[in-house]
Amino acid sequence: APTPTPTTTIGRQFTGHYHRHQRRTSDDPTMTTAALAWGCAFIAFSPSVSLLFLLAYRKAQLVIVVTTSAFAFLLSSLLASLFWLAVPASHRSNPLALVPPAVVCQFILRCGFVHLYHRVESVIQKSIRKHERHEAEQAERRRQREGGGSSSPSRGSPGSPTENRDATSPSAALSETARLRLELNDWACGLASGTGFGGMHAILLFGTLLASESGQVGTLYQDSCPGIPSLVNSATMAFLFSVLDIFIMLLTFYGMRRRRDGTLARGGGEISLSSYSRDSRDSGGPSV
């Protein structure tokens, strides 16, 4: 009997469709792996990259929100890992010992990030109001000096102090506080912070697998899902979790603004708990 080649042995471990596909791409497997890696990378990072360039790229304030929210996700992962160090090695395969600390840490860091943002926002608004009052007082003194040195022109005549006062009144143009409110509202900041959370989550969830597989020849499959490459499975999970992170951050901003009861903030924590359930191995957990 002929000695089975490694290619034949590998092909027998999967379905016949995979075996035929392996033989069709045997001439240039590197090209197939590169195309698969690039396509999966586009799928995994598309929500975060799209919002980053369409929403936050042209506004420095939103770029800061994206960066700090990504750092908050890293802190939540670090805090959860510290809790996991206390778990005995015999229980580290038990999801009940690993999932709740991660969920609690993410929930605390989400709410803490939004609370810190609200405090910074109030400080900026107070500073801008103080600056606007100072500018208004300076303009009023300037008008009084100009009006006291000459005969007072008739009301409404061109160049009169009354006309200048009307032209520089707050109703004539948006104040700096109003412009800041238009640029940094809860919707924009919720999307920007969700972009940071989801982007960093996708990097940790999919980026490590992509980096390990980019230099390999061939396609990695798992026994639990032999019909779909691991890169495709992980990219789909990263995509869904990115969308979920954006949605949860919107809920967190909305709930923390009304944090007297904290109902929506707790709802965001429950969604995080469901997303980290054992059923999230397939696409059902994060998509729900």
Tens-place pLDDT, residues 58-75: 888 889 999 999 999 999
Query: Is residue 267 assigned to a domain?
Result: yes
Q: Give the pLDDT of residue 284.
A: 47
Domain region containing 124: 33-145+172-287
Q: Record the pTM.
A: 0.69
Determine, yes or no, domain membership for 89: yes
pLDDT at 161: 47
CB count within 10 Å of CB 17 equals 9
Exposure string over 200-217, b if 16+ CB within 10 A, otherwise e: bbbbebbbebbeebeeee
In-domain check, residue 16: no
pLDDT at 7: 38
Give the pLDDT confidence score for residue 276 in this predicted structure: 52
Q: Which residues of the chain have pLDDT under 70?
A: 1-32, 148-183, 214-218, 259-288
Q: Is residue 13 part of a domain?
A: no
- Residue 126 counted as domain residue: yes
What is the C-alpha to C-alpha distance for residues 230 and 212, in angstroms, rounded to an integer? 12
pLDDT of residue 164: 47
pLDDT at residue number 281? 45
User: Looking at the DSSP assignment, which residues form a beta bridge with residue 225?
Assistant: 222
In a domain, 17, yes or no: no
Asked if residue 65 is part of any domain, the answer here is yes
Please tell me the total count of domains within the chain: 1
Would 162 be classed as within a structural domain? no
Q: What residues contact 246, with CB distance under 8 A and at least 6 apart?
A: 47, 51, 190, 191, 194, 195, 197, 198
Q: What is the pLDDT of residue 182?
A: 59
pLDDT of 265 = 54
**How confident is the model at residue 242, as a pLDDT?**
92
